[in-house]
Amino acid sequence: MYQENMKKKVLSGLFWKAMENGGTQGIQFLVSVLLARMLTPSESGEVMLIMIFISIGNVFVQSGVNTALIQKYRVDEADYSSAFYISAAIAVILYGVLFFCAPAIGAFYGQPVFSPVLRILAVTLFFGAVTSVQSAVVARNMEFRKLCMASLSAAFGSGVIGVVMAAKGFGLWSLAMQQFFYSFFLMVVLGVLVKWRPRLLFSMDKAKGLFSYGWKILCSGLIDTVFTNLYGLVIGKQYSSYMMGQYTRGNQFPALIANNLGAAIQSVMLPAFSACQDDKERLKSMVRRSIVTSSYLVFPMMAGLIAVAEPMVKLLLTDRYLPSVPMLRLLCVAYATWPLHVANLQAINALGRSEIFLKLEIVKKCVSVIALIISIPFGIYVMVGLRAVTDFVCTFINAYPNKKLLDYSFSQQWKDVFPSLILSAIMCGAAYGVQYIIEGTLLTLLVQILVGVLVYGGLSWLFKLESFVYLCATVKNLKH
């Protein structure tokens, strides 16, 4: 009965988290396409460069303590309130740092407009301090429907503001305000839906307990976020805001898929894995199911994007963004490995081994930074290509501890996902070949998508792939 209830909670959580990410990022994707057509690549690149600093700041505000609240076996109001005051204090300090450093950052990149935009966007750090605890309450109670509703509302409201401002000629400020109001609306709507409010409670013992686990997650998140955005920082300085805009659009499409499914798995699996932390066999089974099923879904999507990249960019973003196509394809290879990264790391977190999590991040980022430094003299495309290579190598690093912790080695993991990988490669080849047969951008894109779906679905049915059978059975059970 417990297993059945947990399965229902996990499936419900995954559904609402996928709906949240899919709907939110779908709206944001549509908005970004509209803004890309109204703004220049340079303007898009400038705002995305500024958002890197906000993303890094949000790691301090939202990471670590948030994860500690979710992982902790029992929490009370003192835990929640203590966590909030820690996050709020960090937000105040970081805002001060960004406020006073904004002119220097603008001067470093040769963009005076950076200073006022960065100072305004840095206000979102305070919104993040609130939503970090609200999100932890949602995750612990597996009430992802509320987060879905809040995210969709925030994406729609902020998107309308961004598009209207762009149409009125506000340039990069339209994109900046879209980012600002998304964070603001998310906090407000969650405040209505989630019945949690900070109280005048602060326990040093609670804070120490949360911090003893959370600081390693924070450091890991900081390392990961800095490194992920390091490419943007280097491109913005080494090349130009124009190439930064091309990189941003190339990254946008595969990131939409990876963040949607990957974040859904990450958000739902941590509380689910944590609930089974004392039963290693069940935890291993859940980790394996997460890897196999998510890879079955992510691999063909990334392979399909590789195949349709050129006609899709032409149709959605216009010919101005064609330089982003090679980067898009390379980044698809990098993001395809996310299911393995996420499941392995969440299993380690669920077991309370945040020190291993931190060590893994340090090792992976050392490898990746070396690759980045080596690639800089050879141009942006080599730089992005080596990122894909290092992301693949890092799947082995992330899986290494789970050979001992769960008796689930990286060779077993790749053996489990290999069938999906082969079918995805075959599908990619078939869809890519369509462009040599059919003319017309829209028609080519539509036929490529149709061929991809038919080939992958047909081969899955023909060979009775494990994940295909599992998903069909799950859908049937949900109908009943």
Please give the Cα distance from 205 to 88 (Å, whole number): 18
Q: Which residues contact 215 (CB under 8 A, 6 or more apart)?
A: 64
Please, are residues 41 and 320 in contact by the beta-carbon 8 Å criterion? yes
Model confidence pLDDT, tens digit, residues 188-212? 988 888 888 888 887 787 777 777 6
Which pLDDT score, from 0 to 100, does residue 2 have? Answer: 45
Residue 234 lies in a domain: no
* pLDDT on residue 421: 95
Identify the residue with better confidence: 141 or 129. 129
Q: pLDDT value at position 272?
A: 63
- Token pair belonging to 446: 């539509």
- Is 154 part of a structural domain of the chain? no
The pLDDT of residue 168 is above 90: no
Amino acid in position 415: K
- At residue 344 the predicted structure's pLDDT band, cuts being 50, 70 and 90, is confident
Is pLDDT above 60 for 8?
no
Give the residue carrying structure tokens 């109280």: 199
Q: The tokens 């924070």 sit on which residue?
A: 218
Number of folded domains in the chain?
1
**pLDDT reading at 13 higher than 70:** no
Note whether residue 296 is domain-resident: yes
Q: Is the pLDDT of residue 226 over 80?
A: no
* Structure-model confidence comparison of residues 361 and 211, the more confident one: 361
Q: What is the pLDDT of residues 441-458, one digit of tens each?
A: 889 999 999 999 999 999
Residue 440 lies in a domain: no
Structural domain boundaries enclosing 334 = 243-414
d(CA 390, CA 397): 10
* The pLDDT of residue 418 is above 90: yes
pLDDT band at 1 (very low <50, low <70, confident <90, very high): very low
- The Cα–Cα gap between 465 and 176 comes to 45
- C-alpha R_g of the chain: 22
* 426 against 350, higher pLDDT: 426
Cα separations in angstroms, 185 against 124, 138, 161: 11, 17, 12
Range in 83-87, 217-221, 249-253 the model is least confident about: 217-221
Q: What is the mean pLDDT of the chain?
A: 82
Nearest alpha-carbon partner for 307 in 436, 147, 160, 156: 436
